[in-house]
Structure 1
């Protein structure tokens, strides 16, 4: 095939070569019909395959557990299985490549995109990424590991410079990408939006050429994040193969001119083309001339996998005997997430799921509705609930709603995300206006809140009166990937049972970085003291109270960091009130990361359920009832308070950033390394999780015969299920450099193994540590170094539960290449 690729490249004209180095549209790279080269199509991931539709609506897709949930499984075999299943999903959408996995590190507990990433630890992240990629690419679908590198915050993410020293890059942030290249042979890498130490990653020669290609031997492609290219010759020369999306902004004729002027050499252009053709051959698009067809293929086997994975991701954080549920007593089902299925985070990872099972539905299926009583208690939404119903949409080929509509359509909700081809192509997607007309019939009378936020100008009229105005004084905010304004809210008196006319007017505006138009409008009636009082009454009259709280994809979303890790709204107050009314109170928490828990001492049990995909309610019910074992373990430390997190600082340049820079001052001391360094006790430590089954580790053995010569060590131990239930233990192996010449963490995770054991079963396992497990990076010398001296190996079931220890010792140093 190499000969064929070389021949095709030699036959291509300059125009044809340039054409495949940028997108044709939002989701595809153009074909070259003259040479029989097919079109390459990509789709967003990582927790599903959305296809070529909008972030809102579109062809339905399977929704899998989000990244942090997969991180909580600590199960490489399961993640590999999910990768293979996602390949089927990508094929259903007529695509060849999935824009996944996301492997950025949980530096801060407030990163809006933490839900999409695996862990605060690079080894856990790296090994899960490898499994995901191997599963996906084993079915012929290309992976695109992202975002390379330093995208650990969503604040000013398209322009900010992540200031990261090289040692921290090498030991923390680059590891998952390095593993993806060296261990999984990923076919795609996506550059991040941000700058790295002053230079956009999409034109960073050291990152894309020196490290990625020369040091790691990468032979796949590097594509930009969408609109993440900012130059022509600079990106091509640095190693960026593909500008996305299309039509091109920095390439096309600009690249032809750069080649003709000598700013980009023929050799460099040829290398980029070869990389693209090699990718097309690997994913099968080179000879794919089929018509693009997207199918909503709801596979029962994928639903079963999602349910199993969602349950395995659940982390039991506290249990005073309240779980699993037993007996036939009455259950109060309370909270804002009880009847609303929170299945995914927001941003480019969101999709139109085949269905959504709420916790209420899951419990009804498992226990029957007769045992259940419901009360919402409070709300937790960031924005007013999106208005659902039939809307007439009139599109105008101008930005003033003038004249006759160019196109008329309908939609069933008051939100839209317009990109690429819209209104049957009758308006310019970046220069148009629209009027939506519909109605809202409230269930109760009284004061209602009307909210609107938009990437563009927008107004909401109710019964002909302007209620919410995001047009007149529009200001950039934290919505729609930082292209939108914050929500503007007005109030209006509405009557129950009456259909009130709602009209929404929208017009595009100049964009900052991402070329899109979008809005969302909602109407809601606030819940007050009476709602909490009713929830308390329901809880007091039940044998057990289960409170479903947390956040949703409005909070945990791309394009916006969290303002804090407090639970939104009055949820803390709700939990405290319910726990006071019923001592048998169980909390089910759904978030994309840690929250502060002032009520933790008063509840009987706590489960962290994350966003587990479309089977959310069934998976949660399986864990609550004991049908499934909660074998998840925390992939991120939960601090007692936000201020304990390593990125929290009085110096705003450390976080969230100042004057275009965010400085990673903590260096290598991220996550549990930080808490160890300060001797600080977190609320729940990294790697922690209880279960219905119980486990013990014993009989540690160490084979260090190759340690002096090769730097490798074999570790063996026995794992025993000491309970009368089947279950799974996550065995964790940490390494400490007892006396190091450079500052090093007190311990670092270097290997782990998830072990399924039947009740009473015991099994011997082995884990291998290579030389890199003992090494740190020396920046000036440009190599990894294993020092002479003693290293301590610590083995156990969490980062603070490490009962087994042993030491190994070297007499000489060992230098390892990059």
Structure 2
């Protein structure tokens, strides 16, 4: 650290130190004007830089979610995406992006599985290093999260993760170790959960002994929002910054703890120096305010988002060359996710995109260029709750967003708002009291908009709120969620159950929508969602099937959405919700060339797979969703994705099935080292689709795998080469994966582990020699007794392949003791 930091630290009063170690608000650190210290702005999140507003702020570029980036198996592309996200963060005045999420995908039902890269520690680590490097090269710090073992949402503030020590080191800490040691991440986010009974925010062994002592981390530890549960234990453990502010446990409580002798000022000073170093590194130590937030829709970001989304699409199945679409004159597009752009999952990762292309729109645009007719029938809806009313069906307001929100410093809305905001959709989440209103005092809001019904009939309205709410339509009371609210799961478990009613409306006849909201518990976050659905035909299923029957090919877009898959709540079922499985089965029976597109951030049951001609995993692909999908469907782009996780036949087959959710506030890790694909190998369970699987429109041939040496000393890497040829008449992408297995007796370990990979794009007829390095860590294990990595001499087998279950060209390596 610089001498300037020592000078500033010495000049701070104890009260200023306490203030500096906590946020000023949701997104800023505290400025110390007396010493010219400015404030730092941070921003969510992994697939876009949202800025300081959950709703209604400047729009942002929306890139593919973490699982989609994991499916690219393309570190160079992930690095470019991170560079673009750095530009987005700077456009929002932020110098720290709260990303990447590098927990592992332990279960398909995890609410934030879509945010994570992979179920495998090596794949996650390589992409994490690429992301952190790409972000920080542009002057924006990464905040790798959530440290550690925040793998599910069940009781995330109270539950204790209980992996054994070797599993913790070899599996769950490995991506964080790589992000810190190799990429030099500027910040790390401490997680909500406990680890072995101790909150991660006050876990000295995790934050000090391992992170700083062993890995040499020189940055700052920032708590997850509202994760800090103590004062002295958290500071002593090395949790530097409590977020958000105003502080609950630092600030004045920190000052009191020092004065009472519960906390040494030396421990406080260590945290202060690290925060000052972060402010210096991010360029805000010299004062000034963060730049104003802007929405900059860059053409190069559009192109990169489209490229990344297509590179993530996994072609799971392709029978009888159903894809790419050729020789067709009419395509039927059906499914509940076909005509809406489901671009991202729910929770803190969400941004307001500059725009979003639905699958139907992308397919229509591409089909029009080819002279192909597209017919559409949605089929039955699949909403978890009634979706939020958005700008698409609201009367436009010149030069403004269509929803007006008046905020009042009173227990109920009145005639004199303190301030007015505008939103593009009728959903708001106020983690803190809105600006301009007194903190922790009663406040209220009123939302107004004009709905233009697209069709006549019974329209469904719904309210869910963290606070009181009621709805009027054209002045008539429709919903009352004011005094008799029932508990629900909305707004991270703080909100009410949804209440709903139907209102008869006429097509094209605008109606006035007015919602009153009051936060009667002002010490808690507030939330409001007004849902709306137009009438659904009673024969929606039959219309979809008939559209498919009359077409040359049918594209069925099914999946989940931010209500089904979200932070704060794990999924309850492995199946597609509502009648989607039935829709796929009936469409496939009506049209033999049925292509199923799964628009979800995690695996779903696919009992219908054998009836489909082709199937693709679209993930949550960001703003270019429909265009990227059309690129792949029509063969303009090769499907570049490979599965970063295993798709099981049944949820009962998965490694964590018996452990998640936990019991007695403990989450066990009984699969141990056998996480992800390793579990299926160890138990000889056939997956639906194996880890690493993904088809190409091209055909590739692999030569034999070669190693530079047949014998290496313990602690040395192994360099391998393999020839890959495109034996087809079109360009394509291949991912060569190397797996390592021990063939002689030794410590207990998985049957095989992913050790290296490389993605290559080859023109028709092109051949290339790839060089892959298997790191020495692949031949090692964590020795718990010695608290160190140990190389394991003996005979090892390295095999190359296209997935964890499609391997060939094995070679043997002898690892000798030094």
Which TM-score bucket, shorter chain as reference? over 0.9
Cα distance change of structure 1 residues 471 and 741 upon mapping to structure 2, 3 Å threshold: farther
* TM-score under structure 2 length normalisation: 0.94
Match of 1:254 in 2: 253
Distance, in Å, in 1 between the alignment partners of 2:94 and 2:446 is: 33
Tell me if structure 1 keeps the 8 A contact 2:94–2:290.
no
Q: What is the number of residues matched between the two proteins?
A: 805
Residue 434, structure 1, aligned to residue 439, structure 2: no
CA distance, structure 1, for counterparts of residue 795 and residue 480 of structure 2: 66
Match of 2:184 in 1: 185
Match of 1:42 in 2: 42
SS of match in other structure, 2:705? strand
- TM-superposed deviation, 1:794: 1.5
| Alignment match, 1:626 | 635
Unaligned runs of 5+ in 1: none
1:379 aligns with: 381
1:549 aligns with 2:554: no
TM-score relative to the length of structure 1: 0.94
Query: Paired residue for 2:568?
Result: 559
1:120-269 to 2 correspondences below 5 Å:
120-269=119-268
- How far apart in 2 are the matches of 1:435 and 1:572? 40
1:658 aligns with 2:663: yes
Which of 477, 485, 508 pairs up with 2:496?
485
Unaligned runs of 5+ in 2: 395-401
Aligned pair in 2 of structure 1 residues 140, 454: CA closer, same or farther (>3 Å)? same
**Equivalent residues in 2 for 1:407-422, closer than 5 Å:** 407=419, 411-420=423-432, 422=434
What secondary structure is seen at the aligned counterpart in 1 of 2:712? coil
Mapping for residues 18-33 of structure 1, pairs under 5 Å: 18-33=18-33
Q: Residues of 1 paired with 2:663 and 2:415: CA distance?
A: 46
Deviation larger for 252-261 or 618-627: 252-261
Q: Distance in 2 between matches of 1:577 and 1:427?
A: 57
Q: CA deviation at 1:475?
A: 4.0
The equivalent of 2:397 in structure 1 is none
- Tell me, yes or no, if the aligned pair for 1:188 and 1:220 is still in contact at 8 Å: yes
Structure 1 528/574 Cα, relative in aligned 2: closer, same or farther at 3 Å? farther
1:15: how far off?
A: 2.5
Q: Distance in 1 between matches of 2:356 and 2:657?
A: 36
Residues 548 and 188 of structure 1: CA distance in aligned 2, closer, same or farther (over 3 Å): same
- Cα deviation, 1:392-440, whole Å, max 9, x if unaligned, reads 5443323345786545555454221224463x50454763122334454
Does the alignment pair 1:450 with 2:461? Answer: yes
Distance 1:154 1:554 in 2: 14
Report the 3-state secondary structure (helix = DSSP H, G, I; strand = E; otherwise coil) of the residue aligned with 2:616. strand
- 1:794 corresponds in structure 2 to 799
Q: In 1, Cα distance between the equivalents of 2:448 and 2:584?
A: 40
Per the alignment, residue 399 of structure 1 pairs with: 411
What secondary structure is seen at the aligned counterpart in 1 of 2:739? strand
Q: Deviations over 1:337-356 (max 9, x none)?
A: 22111111111111111111
Q: Is the 8 A contact 1:397 1:428 kept in 2?
A: no
Q: For 2:764, which of 759, 768, 772 is the aligned residue? A: 759
* CA RMSD, 1 decimal: 2.1
- SS of equivalent residue, structure 1 residue 254: helix
Work out whether residues 328 and 372 of structure 2, in 8 Å CA contact, stay in contact via their aligned partners in 1: no
Aligned 1:106-121 pairs, distance under 5 A: 106-121=105-120
What is aligned with 1:341? Answer: 341
Residues 16-66 of structure 1: CA distance to partner in whole angstroms, max 9, x if unpaired?
322221111111112222222221111111111111112x22111110111
- Contact 1:87-1:140 at 8 Å conserved across structures: yes
Task: Please name the residue that 2:616 is paired with.
Answer: 607
Partner of 2:547: 538
1:706–1:712 Cα contact (<8 Å) kept: no
Q: 1:642 to 1:188 in 2, by over 3 A?
A: same
- Go from structure 1 to structure 2 and tell me whether the alpha carbon gap of 1:81 and 1:497 turns closer, same or farther (over 3 Å shift): closer
Give me the whole-angstrom Cα distance separating, in 2, the residues matched to 1:757 and 1:158: 48
139-148 vs 551-560, greater mean Cα deviation? 551-560
Q: Distance in 2 between matches of 1:594 and 1:524?
A: 27
Aligned to 1:92: 91
Shift of 1:529: 4.9
Aligned: 1:325 with 2:336 = no
Deviations 1:316-343 (A, max 9, x none): 0111211111235111111122211111
Which segment drifts farther, 757-766 or 242-251? 757-766
Assess if the C-alpha contact under 8 Å between 2:461 and 2:530 holds in 1: yes
* Greater Cα offset, 283-292 or 613-622: 283-292
Q: C-alpha separation between the residues in 2 aligned to 1:686 and 1:709? A: 29
- Secondary structure of 2:770 counterpart: strand
Pairing partner for 1:732 from 734, 737, 743: 737
